[in-house]
Amino acid sequence: MARFLGWTVPVASMLLGGSPAAFAHAALVHSIPADQAIVHSHQVDIALDYNSRIEVSRCTVTLTDAAGKAFPLQMERSAKPSELKAVAHNVASGTYQIHWQVLASDGHITRGDVAFTVAAQ
């Protein structure tokens, strides 16, 4: 009996738990601009790369300034199924937050923020 239980526990764990990568939520692994970066241009290229495929049509990205004013972003196509891209034009000097929400291919929603400063002349 002990031998049987010793065999079933690892197998049951694999069947019920699955592989960690298969059930992982989309996590931001790289961003442009990087968190806390200083951007020296009034045009801000934005790229958010995640650790898994995301459903781009179900994702949102918003740029807000320190006063909470939101600026619209036009999403661009990316060759990578794990990346969101956009360009913000005519961004005044100041601090900003990129607020993102993504739907991973595993069906889970994750969200987060990237803070940066525009210090253009």
Q: What percent of the chain has pLDDT over 90?
A: 68
pLDDT at 115: 98
pLDDT tens digits for 59-79? Answer: 999 999 999 999 878 889 899
pLDDT at 102: 95
Residue-range domain boundaries for the chain? 25-118
Q: How far apart are CA 59 and CA 100, in angstroms?
A: 8
Per CATH, the number for 25-118 is: 2.60.40.1220
pLDDT at 63: 97
pLDDT at 24: 63
For residues 82-104, average pLDDT: 96
For residues 80-85, average pLDDT: 95
pLDDT tens digits for 15-53? Answer: 444 444 445 689 999 999 999 999 999 999 999 999 999
By DSSP bridging, strand 37-39 and strand 109-118 are parallel
Task: Note whether 33 and 96 are within 8 A (CB).
Answer: no
